[in-house]
Structure 1
């Protein structure tokens, strides 16, 4: 029965092409042992070339014995065997990850490395319908969007899951019938892990009311998957129309043309955030995270921010959304300008000259000129501080905070704008924006300052 079911799954989702070279991930547990045996029996129909891969997480005492078991299993079928190992616990602690996430990351990295090095066209994993149902409840408990609730994909790029429509009960029946041995992972009984809690407690209760919950929910998940695939096509069209860019580790989205259906907005936003900040991962963002970002996008005035996992922050700055690592406190030293010369500061290089510049009719925003009779050295270059003001004729002394708000300068940029001040601490020039107009040259002796970005 399983063979026919898997055969239909392969055809329905086009998991294999004729002549595929398939790397089968085998832990030694019941699911992966069943997967390997089934693929060996179906391999002739698709002319598949199979090999076995096993990753040792070094988390349990029996891990080495499990690796030996899988090695013997590969030998039984006459298949090539590839193994890898990492100290997952140490990696999790270093990166601040949970054990499950760190283990998954290291395991997938190993499989991808072997697949690329040895020229495999597909990687087959042993996820089952039971796993899919458990994943649905895990994500529902945490809070998830349609993207999360759709469950585990039968196929994603070159990764395939032939057992995704087979229940764990069917797998045990198959193993018993075929007299196949497997190893038991002792950690699967530890209900401190969310998946095990869902499997052994939540689903046990639900099955008292509906013993066929896996098959019932399997049909629901199939429907959700088709809905999600349709929305994905619409999201891709929307992304082609959106104005966004990713540079220096930060994503910028122009909100002026972000006028889509609410469902498209949610999925487009989620897709971009995952693509640039959590690539190759799932389950990092909850529905609350996406709603939080959409919430600040709906605000019309000023700047708003919302925190995302792992130190990422979304900030709406007028008609722009900026997503990236949270800004750290800037502690750039002051630079004292004592006369003519070159003065590096932050991302800029300042060139200071003194002389007759009356032949220069206009200055761009990266140049400033002051009457040397009104402005004297030393000058100071630094970033803004609370209370800084700029004297504007006819207005008076205006706080830089208010000036930036009026000019709609994004909050993230305000902290990186250099200021040039005199020895009294008065702001003479907001670099790239405005200088004191009452200090412009009237005589022939001028202090000329040019700011250039470092390359």
Structure 2
């Protein structure tokens, strides 16, 4: 087992890097901890251990103390954090499992950043992989859901994923590795536990003694298929679709020319990319999305916070929670140049002149104002009833956006510049007829650069 584990570590190219070990104190994570500690000098590893206390069980504090004690014996740096997962989950309308996972990985990311580490290692094993795949099949899943758990994904590695629970228990026994037992693993309250305790023994004893290997192969095949699909869809970027400010824009007329099968796969991939939900969406929803592309502008479908929406000649796909709350005031920090940043834009303020204004005043992407107004200048989001004062009178901002064919969703992130509660500029769209400059003014120039 040690040789196979070393082979896994070398496949990640870990030598000389820092690794955060997520350790609960159970058999799996204590095996992983012992194996990492065994090879830490050979691979020059900087190891830091993290334990997250979910406050969900009476013996949660016991587990935390146990892991801390073991880290002292190994001589490894130890971090722990205790959170009320149930309270957090209820307040944020999440399942307990979702809330626990979010808080746990948030903590891991914090420690990884503080300690300047490169990787996070978790102790998922081959049984966990099989249980995850079966659970997703029972709930209904797409090809990507059959992947289950990946051995490596970004900075997250799972170095004992190819070991079964039986192999881990054998290692524990042969090497006298201490561990704590989670009593809830034996309670049939959760689907995963029911699969582990009831379904798998039947599948293994009565149908296929090598069921774990069979599901592991299925996972690898699904991964290969998914990789090919994603690479092919990626090759169509710029031709069929584009990614713009955390939204996917698909050209509808070109999309209609694709086969129905390809369209279905693409909807699934884009949904899973935006939602980060490997369970995907069912075929009935896929059909509804495909019918949507033959609808008029403004029609939309919302699935698990992911919106598929028709906007003129494009299908927009985005997380409905991505939009930024813009609220900013400005100060000219030096004589020549100042830079401000938002999630989607850089805002640059520069000293200018009346001569430059005369040459560039037709540019919609520039705002020239008298420097004395800078203390009163701020940006905000669009609001109902907004209007611009133009040369021939007032015009509603909503009507201007319609004329310019700016989609409703993009409008939410366009910065609105105002002085003394009067809108003076909508970048790249229109400038107000108020607060114009003349040759006597001390003039500054403002540019907005999109972070695309």
Common fold by TM > 0.5: yes
What is the aligned partner in structure 2 of residue 309 from structure 1? 304
In structure 2, relative to structure 1, the CA distance for the partners of 1:352 and 1:221 (3 Å cut) is closer
- Out of 114, 125, 128, the position equivalent to 1:128 is 125
What is the aligned partner in structure 2 of residue 37 from structure 1? 34
| Cα offsets for 1:246-292 (capped at 9, x unmatched) | 45x865433233355656544544444444x53xx433633447614
What is the aligned partner in structure 2 of residue 116 from structure 1? 113
Deviation at 1:201? Answer: 2.0
What is the aligned partner in structure 1 of residue 157 from structure 2? 160
Deviation at 1:101? Answer: 0.8
Answer whether contact 2:151 2:161 (CA < 8 A) is retained.
yes
What is the aligned partner in structure 1 of residue 3 from structure 2? 4
What is the aligned partner in structure 2 of residue 348 from structure 1? 386
Paired with 2:238 and 2:93, the residues of 1 have a C-alpha distance of 35
What is the aligned partner in structure 1 of residue 199 from structure 2? 202
What is the aligned partner in structure 2 of residue 394 from structure 1? none
- Out of 312, 316, 325, the position equivalent to 1:322 is 316
Answer whether contact 1:5 1:165 (CA < 8 A) is retained.
no
In structure 2, relative to structure 1, the CA distance for the partners of 1:290 and 1:118 (3 Å cut) is farther
Paired with 2:66 and 2:284, the residues of 1 have a C-alpha distance of 43
Q: Please tell me whether residue 94 in structure 1 is matched to residue 91 in structure 2.
A: yes
Alignment of 1:383-394 (within 5 A): none
- Out of 19, 22, 36, the position equivalent to 2:19 is 22
Deviation at 1:226? Answer: 2.6
Paired with 1:162 and 1:382, the residues of 2 have a C-alpha distance of 55
Deviation at 1:410? Answer: 10
Answer whether contact 1:143 1:288 (CA < 8 A) is retained.
no
Deviation at 1:8? Answer: 3.2
| Cα offsets for 1:364-403 (capped at 9, x unmatched) | xx978xxxxxxxxxxxx9999xxxxxxxxxxxxxxxxxxx
Deviation at 1:42? Answer: 2.6
What is the aligned partner in structure 2 of residue 397 from structure 1? none
Paired with 2:144 and 2:316, the residues of 1 have a C-alpha distance of 23
SS at 2:236 equivalent? helix
Instruction: Provide structure 1 residue ranges, at least 5 long, that are not aligned to the other structure.
Output: 328-343, 358-365, 369-380, 385-403, 417-448
Answer whether contact 1:231 1:264 (CA < 8 A) is retained.
no
Report how many aligned residue pairs link the two structures: 352
- Out of 206, 211, 215, the position equivalent to 1:213 is 211
SS at 1:60 equivalent? coil
Answer whether contact 2:268 2:281 (CA < 8 A) is retained.
no
| Cα offsets for 1:30-83 (capped at 9, x unmatched) | 110111111122333422221211111111111111000000111111111011
Bigger Rg over Cα: 1
- Out of 147, 151, 166, the position equivalent to 2:148 is 151
Instruction: Provide structure 2 residue ranges, at least 5 long, that are not aligned to the other structure.
Output: 322-381, 413-431, 435-447
Paired with 1:250 and 1:18, the residues of 2 have a C-alpha distance of 38
SS at 1:163 equivalent? coil
Paired with 2:272 and 2:385, the residues of 1 have a C-alpha distance of 29
- Out of 171, 176, 180, the position equivalent to 1:183 is 180
Query: What is the TM-score normalised by the length of structure 1?
Result: 0.67
Answer whether contact 1:25 1:124 (CA < 8 A) is retained.
yes
What is the aligned partner in structure 2 of residue 238 from structure 1? 236
Answer whether contact 1:66 1:183 (CA < 8 A) is retained.
yes
| Cα offsets for 1:273-317 (capped at 9, x unmatched) | 444x53xx433633447614543345356765333014x432335
Paired with 1:273 and 1:346, the residues of 2 have a C-alpha distance of 30
Coordinate RMSD, CA, aligned: 3.6
| Cα offsets for 1:103-157 (capped at 9, x unmatched) | 0111111101100111111111101111111111111112212111112111111
Deviation at 1:102? Answer: 0.7
What is the aligned partner in structure 2 of residue 141 from structure 1? 138
In structure 2, relative to structure 1, the CA distance for the partners of 1:236 and 1:243 (3 Å cut) is closer
What is the aligned partner in structure 1 of residue 327 from structure 2? none
Query: What is the TM-score normalised by the length of structure 2?
Result: 0.68
Paired with 2:73 and 2:59, the residues of 1 have a C-alpha distance of 21
What is the aligned partner in structure 2 of residue 285 from structure 1? 280
Answer whether contact 1:251 1:324 (CA < 8 A) is retained.
yes
Answer whether contact 2:240 2:254 (CA < 8 A) is retained.
yes
Paired with 1:19 and 1:38, the residues of 2 have a C-alpha distance of 16
What is the aligned partner in structure 2 of residue 81 from structure 1? 78
Paired with 1:164 and 1:23, the residues of 2 have a C-alpha distance of 17
